[in-house]
Amino acid sequence: MKDKHNHTCLGVLIGNRNFFPSYLVDEARNNIQAILADMSVETVMLSEEQTDHGGVQTYQDAKVASELLKANRDKIDGIVVLLPNFGDEKAVADSIRFSGLSVPVLIQAEADSLDKMGLATRRDSFCGKISLCNNLRQYGIAFSLTTQHVCEITSEVFRADLANFERVCRTVSALKGCRVGAIGARPASFNTVRYSEKMLERMGITVEPIDLSEIFARVEALKDDDLRILDKIELLKNNADTQFIAEDKLVMMGKLFVVIAQWIDDNDIDASAIQCWTSLQQTLGINVCSIMSVMSGQLLPSACEVDVMGAISMYALSIASGNPSSIADWNNNFGDERDKCVLFHCGNFATEQLHEPFMSTADIIGTTVGCENTCGAINGRMKKGPLTYFRLSTDEFSSKVKAYLGEGKLVDDELETVGCRAVVQVPHLEGLLAYICNNGFEHHVAFNHSSTANVLYEVFNKYLNVDCYFHQ
């Protein structure tokens, strides 16, 4: 199976037009090879033997280029188009169309220099980019643009654009073929986490369900001296301080962890959503929060309350940023400060960015099932830093998948409470909350320490056909 987290391969097409200087194609190839190698990105591009200078400027060139892309279709995550001169817009567009690839495309056009506007040195890429984009739109090929209309390949601006585009490609690739585990049934009172499996299947995302009774039976069948249990307990202890948790509770958590991890591995699960109350507490006498926390920290995110769309939101955010993500309720106002609020959950946050996390009981659930049956919740406060938040939802009334996202800050304002919590500051928060309510979004949101909202917006709005609201 392809590593969705660490490896990216990009196809590179270099446009050319024969009455512009062709040496510029050689220059572009050398530069892009060096840059992508520095980024540890694998490249697929034409050689000088396959076409003139390795560029694309004729119908025959387009056929050669498309065959090269087709031959590498199983590993190419995206295509970068370079226009060192005006280029031939039809040949480049045909190369992509004939290849049959449906991957993100980035268009770069090289800037002219005012002292090099003669026939031997001028580029006219400024104009060529507009023409190429027009053709791609006619062909129905989605594409991304650089921050500046034209820029130098060797500029820091383009390097930043490439880094963002690599994240876009990695995220799109990971989501196509994503497999989400739904462990148990949603809480009966939580209509809010309903979703459409069929709409997800249209996006290439599969949901694999399993009943909690099967999980419990496998836990019961495990012997206490199974070495895998010790390994999982060690993971739990490394994730958060467990000094307040009885050994028999840790053993039960270890058993549950073994069973869930084995099922995830057997079914190639990328993210999971778990029935976290109250059957677990009544049957096993523990919470699953710490297990979810560990998995989320391993970039195998796990969402509470069988929130499948929340799990996918966490997964996309983790892949885009390369950082663990968590899921929480938009839970409390923060006094009279209207641009701040509290994000909260019983105890499932990835602990990498928590202050002194420790394992405890989930006292809110404990009011109904007994606190002694809720061991396993993480207690900790999110550290300050950048914030990206993201939420996907299926809307059967419009037959569309929709989303909202944005950025803000995790702040360290004083807050005395229990569980996993964070104080966040979001510009125009009242407007965001009104949008969430008016458009029927769930009360859960995925978030993490990153600044990747622009990447997620490009992924979902442009390449996955999701109606996406970018709150600013």
Instruction: Label the pairing between strands 206-210 and 271-274.
Output: unpaired
Q: Are 374 and 287 in contact (CB under 8 A)?
A: yes
Looking at 54-68, 107-121, 292-306, which range is the least confident one?
107-121
Whole-angstrom distance, CA of residue 464 vs CA of residue 467: 9
Work out the pLDDT band at 5, boundaries 50, 70, 90: low
Taking residue 218's Cβ as centre, other Cβ atoms within 10 Å add up to 17
- Percentage of the chain with pLDDT > 90? 94
pLDDT at 424: 98
Work out the pLDDT band at 29, boundaries 50, 70, 90: very high
Work out the pLDDT band at 2, boundaries 50, 70, 90: very low
Collapse the DSSP code of 129 into the 3-class scheme (helix H, G, I; strand E, B; otherwise coil) and give the result.
Answer: helix
Taking residue 168's Cβ as centre, other Cβ atoms within 10 Å add up to 25
pLDDT at 1: 31
Collapse the DSSP code of 341 into the 3-class scheme (helix H, G, I; strand E, B; otherwise coil) and give the result.
Answer: strand
| 327-331: average pLDDT | 98
Work out the pLDDT band at 4, boundaries 50, 70, 90: low
Put simply, whether the predicted model's pTM sits higher than 0.85 gets the answer: yes
pLDDT at residue 317 greater than cutoff 80: yes
| 338-351: average pLDDT | 97
- Percentage of the chain with pLDDT > 70? 99
pLDDT at 159: 98
pLDDT in tens, 113-140: 888 888 777 899 999 999 999 999 999 9
pLDDT in tens, 78-119: 999 999 999 999 999 999 999 999 999 999 999 998 888 887
The structure tokens listed for 428 are 């125009």
pLDDT at 342: 98
pLDDT at 425: 98
pLDDT in tens, 232-266: 999 999 999 999 999 999 999 999 999 999 999 99
pLDDT at 21: 79
pLDDT in tens, 367-412: 999 999 999 999 999 999 999 999 999 999 999 999 999 999 999 9
Whole-angstrom distance, CA of residue 263 vs CA of residue 265: 5
Whole-angstrom distance, CA of residue 163 vs CA of residue 210: 38
Report the chain's mean pLDDT, rounded to a whole number: 96
